[in-house]
Amino acid sequence: MNDTSRTILLQANGLCKDYPVRQGIIPHTVGSIKAVEDVNFALYKGETLGLVGESGSGKSTVGRLLVGLEAPTAGQVLLNGQPLGLQRPRGRGNQGTRLQMVFQDTFSSLNPRKRVGDILTAPMRYHRLVTPKTAWREACRLLEMVGLPAAAYERYPHEFSGGQRQRIGLARALSLKPELIICDEPVSALDVSIQAQILNLIRDLQQEMGLTYLFIGHGLAAVHYVSHRIAVMYLGRIVEIAPAQALFTMPAHPYTKALCDAAPVADPALRGRERTVLAGEIPSSIQPPTGCQFHPRCPHAQALCARVQPQLLPCASLPPDHLTACHFAEALLGKGREDAV
Ligand SMILES: Nc1ncnc2c1ncn2[C@@H]1O[C@H](COP(=O)(O)OP(=O)(O)OP(=O)(O)O)[C@@H](O)[C@H]1O
Ligand SMILES: [Mg+2]
């Protein structure tokens, strides 16, 4: 399916988010953290877009901007073509019900003083999606959907394992019948076997309910497993976005290549391949490098990279849905093809 035949559910247009940096005994603003800088992408109905990048690259901030938990400094989010925030405060048509978020830390995202039943029914009652009579039945249906027994209704979040609590988080997100769920590292705190169960649940729910996901993650393997397309973030910007398989087999940005090379490979034949190893730390987002922000760590950087910010554009030798922000992407791709021969 090509991009033109699909319906856009959500569009991020030039999203920016700056946080003020305050210092002093009488705190005053001395600068700003550029957490998100000029982020543009579209989310198509029914797809999963993975969002990866190092810690501090702005992934969670993008997630919070999309659900309206924070207001952007510049840019806008369009949901079904309408700017976010211009909707009725309650009810089924409300944007708040159509966008939901699942968090990594289930201890802090589920109220420890409320029973699971109350956690699930409170948002539905607020938005008048259930009556007091139908709330219990609906909550039990949600619990069954995420693989928990109806008896979980009466219990408190601390009485569950991490994986089970994440199922409750998913059930709560599903309770408002959303179109889009932002999953912010939903499996990072879980052990590997439980990760697989939750990832499978996320995929199954998508097929059953036609959900759209933005899946934020650190582990490339988990992101690859659930995503149709993947966007790579570096220091607040998207540096590459492509169909998941294409991003792995033909990374066009040196940062993406380094991320792919850092992932363990099971195939012994590929162990001896040339790897890009990143040196140094992610720079400060208060004073980001000039030009291409990756240039101080890039093994292929040239003088132009320190001066001119590259735009996120298609590469001539790749399909049009593979975009990258690198001045020398074509040269890097050519070298990759030579190495592969
Ligand atoms: N509320 C806030 N106030 C000030 N700075 C913030 C705030 N939230 C995030 N930041 C800063 O914005 C940048 C991006 O943070 P964000 O949490 O989006 O990164 P991330 O990619 O999700 O990282 P991680 O993978 O560790 O979760 C960081 O430099 C962070 O310190
Ligand atoms: Mg985060």
Q: Is the CB of 33 under 6 A from ligand 1?
A: yes
Q: What is the pLDDT of residues 119-159, one digit of tens each?
A: 999 999 998 899 988 999 999 999 999 999 999 999 999 99
Ligand 1: which residue has its CA nearest to atom 11?
A: 35
Q: Is the CB of 172 under 6 A from ligand 1?
A: no
Q: What is the pLDDT of residues 13-70, one digit of tens each?
A: 999 999 998 888 888 888 889 999 999 999 999 999 999 998 999 999 999 999 988 9
Classified as helix, coil or strand, 180 is strand
Is there a contact between 172 and 119 (Cβ–Cβ < 8 Å)? yes
Q: Is the CB of 35 under 6 A from ligand 1?
A: yes
CA angle, 12 then 188 then 44, to 5°:
25
Best residue among 29, 36, 61 to mutate for probing ligand 1, ranked by most atoms within 8 Å of CB? 61
Length of the chain measured in residues? 341
Q: Hey, what domains does the chain have and what are their CATH numbers?
A: 3-88+97-108+180-340 (3.40.50.300)
Q: Is the CB of 60 under 6 A from ligand 1?
A: yes
Q: Structure pTM?
A: 0.91
Name the token pair of 301: 């950087």
Name the token pair of 340: 């592969």
CA dihedral 142, 145, 149, 155 (to 10 degrees): -40
Is there a contact between 300 and 278 (Cβ–Cβ < 8 Å)? no
Q: Is the CB of 324 under 6 A from ligand 1?
A: no
Q: What is the pLDDT of residue 271?
A: 61
Q: What is the pLDDT of residue 337?
A: 64
Is there a contact between 37 and 75 (Cβ–Cβ < 8 Å)? no
Best residue among 29, 30, 34, 60 to mutate for probing ligand 1, ranked by most atoms within 8 Å of CB? 60
Q: Is the CB of 53 under 6 A from ligand 1?
A: yes
Name the token pair of 213: 């996901």
Classified as helix, coil or strand, 58 is coil
Classified as helix, coil or strand, 80 is coil
CA terminus-to-terminus distance, the chain:
30
How many CB atoms within 10 Å of residue 185?
A: 21
Q: How far is the CA of 336 from the centre of ligand 2 (A)?
A: 31
Residue showing tokens 């920016």:
16
Q: What is the pLDDT of residue 290?
A: 92
Name the token pair of 97: 């019900």
Residue 18's alpha-carbon distances to 85, 264, 270, in angstroms, are 20, 35, 41
Name the token pair of 52: 């990866």
DSSP state of 32: E
Quote the CA–CA distance of 200 and 203 in Å, as a whole number. Answer: 5
Q: How far is the CA of 319 from the centre of ligand 2 (A)?
A: 30
Residue 138's Cβ-count burial label (10 Å; 0-12, 13-18, 19+) is middle
Give the ligand whose atoms come closest to the C-alpha of residue 237.
1
Task: Using alpha carbons, select from 125, 111, 17 the residue that is nearest to residue 68.
Answer: 17
Following DSSP, what letter does each residue of 212-274 receive, concatenated?
EEEEE-S-HHHHHHH-SEEEEEETTEEEEEEEHHHHHHS--SHHHHHHHHHS----GGGTTS-
Quote the CA–CA distance of 185 and 207 in Å, as a whole number. Answer: 20
Q: Please, how many CA atoms are within 13 Å of residue 34, restricted to the half-sphere of its CB?
A: 18
Q: Is the CB of 293 under 6 A from ligand 1?
A: no
Task: Using alpha carbons, select from 17, 80, 70 the residue that is nearest to residue 236.
Answer: 17
Name the token pair of 57: 């690259």
Instruction: Give per-10-residue mean pLDDT for the chain (341 aa).
Output: 74 95 85 93 96 93 92 93 69 71 90 95 91 92 94 95 93 93 90 89 92 91 92 96 93 92 69 69 84 92 94 92 94 72 54
Residue 165's Cβ-count burial label (10 Å; 0-12, 13-18, 19+) is buried
DSSP E strands: which ranges in 69-173?
A: 74-79, 82-83, 99-102
